[in-house]
């Protein structure tokens, strides 16, 4: 029998290039189903995951933080809650099937079909990243800008440093300036801002980073707040 298609839940505005790419065009190209929420709150989110058997959600760290709070606040005792969060984070080294069975009560609450969370738009904290990995979810992270169509790099593995966003996608080059600013070049980079369309060199992103030995990008902050 054919594999059932992925069901992608769209919770971000379609005016965002990130949502258009990962929540619309990519799922359509892969033959996936897409579910769009009319109301964006935690109750509607959980109901939709169960009702439509959602498997993948592209989201931003803020939504993952809300999910984290929604899960952990069900444990009333603060000490037990902290122990639960620590146990979940430390469990990320176990085989994923074991993790999902160990935390079956969370998956029953959220929806057993959900397997993958894709985070982008801003840095994902180590605490949130490790927590959801420990619960048995596959957590992917990426880095990009609207001016870069929008994805620049992605990390699909589950073992990464805090702030690590993976290697550049094919056809994209990333260099670091002398002060560590991320400079992006490639056909994905826009031509420039209207009306002064004269963009020719690498796009200075304003993001500061360093590279690992294997060429993966680790974000360290920003040099300007724009």
pLDDT digits 0-9 by tens, 62-119? 999 989 998 998 899 999 999 999 999 999 999 999 999 999 999 999 999 999 999 9
pLDDT recorded at residue 225: 67
The pLDDT score that the predictor gives to residue 103 is 97
Mean pLDDT, residues 13-28: 94
83's tokens: 């122990």
Distance CA 101, CA 104 (A): 5
pLDDT digit string (tens) for 26-62?
Answer: 999 999 999 998 776 777 888 899 999 999 999 999 9
Do the Cβ atoms of 69 and 129 come closer than 8 Å? no
pLDDT in tens, 151-179: 999 999 988 988 999 999 999 999 999 99
Instruction: Assign residue 170 a region (left: φ > 0; alpha: ψ between -120 and 50; beta: otherwise).
Output: beta
Q: Between 200 and 98, name the one with better pLDDT.
A: 98
- Contact status, residue 177 vs residue 204, Cβ threshold 8 Å: yes
């Amino acid at each position: 029998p054919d594999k059932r298609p992925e069901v992608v839940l769209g919770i971000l505005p379609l005016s965002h290039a990130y949502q258009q790419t990962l929540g619309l065009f990519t799922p359509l190209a892969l033959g996936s189903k897409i579910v769009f929420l009319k109301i964006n709150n935690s109750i509607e989110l959980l109901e939709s995951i169960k009702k439509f058997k959602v498997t993948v959600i592209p989201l931003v760290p803020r939504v993952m933080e809300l999910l984290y709070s929604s899960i952990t606040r069900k444990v009333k005792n603060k000490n037990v809650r902290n122990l639960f969060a620590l146990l979940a984070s430390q469990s990320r080294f176990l085989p994923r099937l074991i993790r999902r069975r160990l935390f079956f009560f969370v998956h029953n609450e959220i929806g057993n079909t959900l397997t993958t969370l894709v985070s982008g738009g801003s840095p994902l904290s180590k605490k949130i990243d490790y927590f959801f990995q420990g619960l048995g979810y596959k957590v992917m992270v990426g880095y990009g800008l609207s001016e870069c169509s929008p994805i620049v790099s992605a990390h699909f593995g589950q073992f990464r440093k805090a702030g690590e966003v993976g290697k550049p996608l094919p056809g994209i080059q990333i260099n670091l300036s002398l002060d560590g600013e991320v400079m992006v070049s490639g056909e994905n980079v826009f031509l420039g801002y209207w009306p002064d369309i004269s963009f020719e060199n690498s796009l200075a992103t304003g993001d500061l980073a360093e590279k690992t030995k294997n060429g993966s990008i680790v974000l360290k902050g920003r040099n300007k707040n724009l």
